[in-house]
Amino acid sequence: MQLEVIGVGGAGCRIAEAIRRSDPAEHSFVADAFAFDTDSASRVGLEAIPDSHRHRYGETSEGGLDGNLQRGLAVGEEYVDELSRRLDAGSPSVADAFLVAVGLGGATGGGTVPHLVGNLQTLYDAPVYVLATLPARRELEPPPGNDGRADADGHVRPMAEENAVRTLDRLDGLANAVICFDNESWLKRGETVADVRDRLNRELAARVAAFFSATADAGGGADGAAETIVDASDVGRILGSGTDVATIGYGTQRVETDGGGSRFGLGLFSSEPSVETSEAVSAVETSVGKALRGKLTLECEPANASRAMLVVGGPPAWLNRRAIADGRRTIESATGSSEILGGDAPRPDGEDVFAVVVLAGVDPVSRLEALRSRTRPLDRGRRDA
């Protein structure tokens, strides 16, 4: 599966850059990556995305839009055709899907992405997935002790939550699915998004790369070929086409890869040196447990998910087929859904067993419900004024 990755707005461009950096050479899933923003300064430092794929638009919007989503929507509508033409520098017509990255709290990305997603759906016969970050509460107002001023980088965004909800509303019915990452739940005490955004982007990119790289290549020869391949149609079936919200869980377990261990284990590939069955089963179970019960990109109740996918990867000898099947049953039990797909991702040079769990159709999500409850009264107040 090959993706056209498009970052829109400052946050979206940084996420696209992080995904490009995380794209594994042996199992590359990024066909092309693009960065679109109204602020030329925010595109500085995007080294993994070639200069020919970075584009500033909105001639009267240099320096950004200051959180004004209405202005962002107008700019997005005006320039959407120009941005779509810029994609011709890549290979959009042969992409299996588009992945559009955006920070939902911003005006540039939030204003442009609904127009761009709609245009991509019209121009190409491929699903369009949105990778969206939710703003943290601490972005809404200055931290205590600075006399009401924004921080040095100007990262106080009082309209971020309202922008996020309005953008999600506009994406409904346009995007095939929205994969969410909640900045709030990934921040530690005392941190701001501006302080640690690189770390957050790396965390998100690692999960996206682990998932989509499993769809990119069946492996290299008999010793590295997946037994159950995950392809674009599988991803489409799980993520859906009705703008459902999705979240990703990820877990890893370091294993010994020096060729030791018993030769009587039930490895997935008979041509590989086997390991103790109990050790392989434990490594798979541990990584699946971490992915399901650890921190998700968007915290939710697994039981609310209508569909799910499990991918287990790592050194081939450690990919115990019984344990992977048990992992699928664990996901099925946690979600209560029978629509569970799975696959394996052999990594002959890997040193970890990893598991990726994708939960889709997870509404209702308490975090999103809280955002909507705080912003709907603001919308009503504006309409009544």
Annotated binding site for GTP: 107-109, 139, 183, 201
Binding site, by residue number, is: 107-109, 139, 183, 201
For residue 207 the two structure tokens come to: 């999960």
Please provide the DSSP assignment of 175-231 as one string: SSEEEEEEHHHHPPTT--HHHHHHHHHHHHHHHHHHHHHTTT---SSGGG--SS---
DSSP states of 311-373 as a string? EEEE-GGG--HHHHHHHHHHHHHHH--S-EEEEEEE-TT-SEEEEEEEEES--S-HHHHHHHH
User: Could you give the CA distance from residue 288 to residue 82 in angstroms, rounded to a whole number?
Assistant: 43
- Chain Cα centroid distance, residue 160: 20
Residue corresponding to tokens 């603001």: 378
Q: Residue type for 296, please?
A: L
